[in-house]
């Protein structure tokens, strides 16, 4: 047989065809510190994704903003420079404004409300919108509970008590407008700067769920907690759409299934841990109070003043009505 360059390549090509697929390790950015809800979701997703791919594909987690601010990770994922990220829902809203629906104050009034919206038709539509608008795909959700107000100065039971406090909020228009409706101008500040700002008394307070307050050790720099429930904290797990589309169908399916299962795990984790964490924070010296009159004044001002300002950005009043109908209200 005449030996040619082509015949020499045949054994090599055959070997390549039967060679095992090389393992891939994906990077996942996490805004919060290890131990919080974001970390719990990321760990569970990584475990299940590894199992579903037979150990061929793994996830490396980078907590506490190691890979940049939460908004930076959306940009990087959109460009295909980052694989996965878990971030607060308010930090994806600038890239896909309709997701701001989930940040309307007092729209979500229970953990079950949060689960219904994120895992039902409303959540599906918001996921499609993020692919279209931000070039990232939501594949899972972390449920962190209501954002309670903490501060270092005084117990806050009503809107008058808010006066004089410098409260940090994310750079989110809906959250800023909510505090303005309550009578104060909050201070937008990056998450990475928040603990230092509280420690140095540049700001007096902030709001976040109990789980985050504990994970970030805010009890070291904050004394008072007010159980407001204006915003249920949700953290979407996003994957770069470029990265997602580049995967084989079975890997795409593993991503979607792992995200679904990790979401269910996150909901159970919240139910199992929030009361315990609250007790621990009280034992560490934090004074926890409820707002006067069932938060009636807070709700009235937030819903009547803030909602109409953002109907257009979240897709119209009809989208809000659809969400309310899904919640039986």
User: How far apart (Å, rounded) are the C-alpha atoms in residues 199 and 190?
Assistant: 15
Q: Are strands 224-226 and 148-151 parallel, antiparallel or unpaired?
A: antiparallel
Which of 61, 62, 65, 130 minimizes the C-alpha distance to 102? 130
Dihedral in degrees, nearest 10, Cα atoms 169, 174, 177, 182: -80
Q: What is the pLDDT of residue 215?
A: 85
Q: What is the pLDDT of residue 23?
A: 66
Handedness of CA 296, 300, 306, 311 (dihedral sign): positive
Q: Are strands 84-86 and 57-62 parallel, antiparallel or unpaired?
A: unpaired
* Sequential pLDDT tens for the chain (329 residues): 444 434 444 444 434 333 334 568 999 999 988 888 999 999 999 999 999 999 999 999 999 999 999 999 999 999 999 999 999 998 999 999 999 999 999 999 999 999 999 999 999 999 999 999 999 999 999 999 999 999 999 999 999 999 999 999 998 899 999 999 999 999 999 888 999 999 999 999 999 999 989 988 999 999 999 999 999 999 999 999 999 999 999 999 999 999 999 999 999 999 999 999 999 999 999 999 999 999 999 999 999 999 999 999 999 999 999 999 999 99
Is residue 266 within 8 A of residue 171, CB to CB? The reply is no
User: How far apart (Å, rounded) are the C-alpha atoms in residues 149 and 286?
Assistant: 12
3-state secondary structure of 189: coil
Phi, psi of 143 (to 5 degrees): -105, 115
User: Can you state the percent helix, strand and coil of the chain, rounding each to 5?
Assistant: 50, 15, 30
Q: What is the pLDDT of residue 33?
A: 84
User: How far apart (Å, rounded) are the C-alpha atoms in residues 235 and 143?
Assistant: 7
Cβ contacts of 2 within 8 Å, gap of 6 or more: none
Domains delineated in the chain: 23-144+234-279 (3.40.190.170), 148-231+284-326 (3.40.190.170)
User: How far apart (Å, rounded) are the C-alpha atoms in residues 109 and 229?
Assistant: 7
């Amino acid at each position: 047989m005449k030996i040619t360059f082509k015949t020499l390549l045949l054994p090599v090509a055959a070997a390549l065809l039967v060679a095992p697929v090389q393992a891939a390790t994906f990077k996942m950015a996490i805004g919060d510190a290890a131990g919080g809800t974001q970390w719990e979701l990321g760990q569970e997703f990584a475990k299940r994704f590894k199992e579903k791919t037979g150990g061929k594909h793994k996830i490396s987690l980078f907590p506490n903003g190691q890979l940049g601010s939460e908004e930076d990770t959306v940009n990087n994922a959109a460009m295909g420079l980052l694989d996965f990220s878990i971030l607060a829902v308010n930090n994806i809203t600038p890239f896909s404004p309709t997701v701001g629906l989930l940040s309307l104050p007092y729209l979500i009034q229970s953990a079950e409300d949060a689960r219904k919206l994120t895992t039902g038709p409303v959540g599906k539509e918001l996921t499609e919108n993020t692919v279209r608008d931000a070039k990232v795909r939501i594949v899972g959700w972390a449920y962190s509970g209501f954002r309670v107000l903490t501060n270092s100065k005084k117990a806050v039971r009503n809107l008058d008590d808010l006066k004089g406090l410098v409260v940090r909020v994310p750079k989110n228009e809906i959250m800023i407008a909510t505090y303005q409706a309550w009578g104060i101008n909050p201070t937008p500040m990056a998450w990475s700067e928040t603990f230092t700002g509280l420690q140095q008394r540049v700001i007096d307070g902030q709001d976040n769920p109990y789980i985050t307050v504990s994970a970030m050790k805010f009890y070291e720099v904050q004394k008072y907690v007010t159980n407001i429930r204006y915003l249920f904290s949700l953290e979407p797990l996003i994957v770069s759409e470029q990265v997602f589309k580049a995967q084989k169908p079975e890997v795409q399916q593993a991503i979607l299934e792992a995200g679904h299962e990790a979401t269910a795990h996150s909901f159970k984790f919240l139910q199992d841990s929030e009361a315990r964490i609250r007790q621990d924070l009280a034992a560490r010296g934090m004074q926890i109070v409820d707002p006067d009159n069932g938060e009636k004044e807070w709700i009235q001002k937030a819903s009547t003043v803030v909602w109409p300002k953002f109907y257009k950005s979240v897709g119209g009043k009809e989208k809000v009505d659809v969400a309310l109908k899904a919640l039986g209200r």
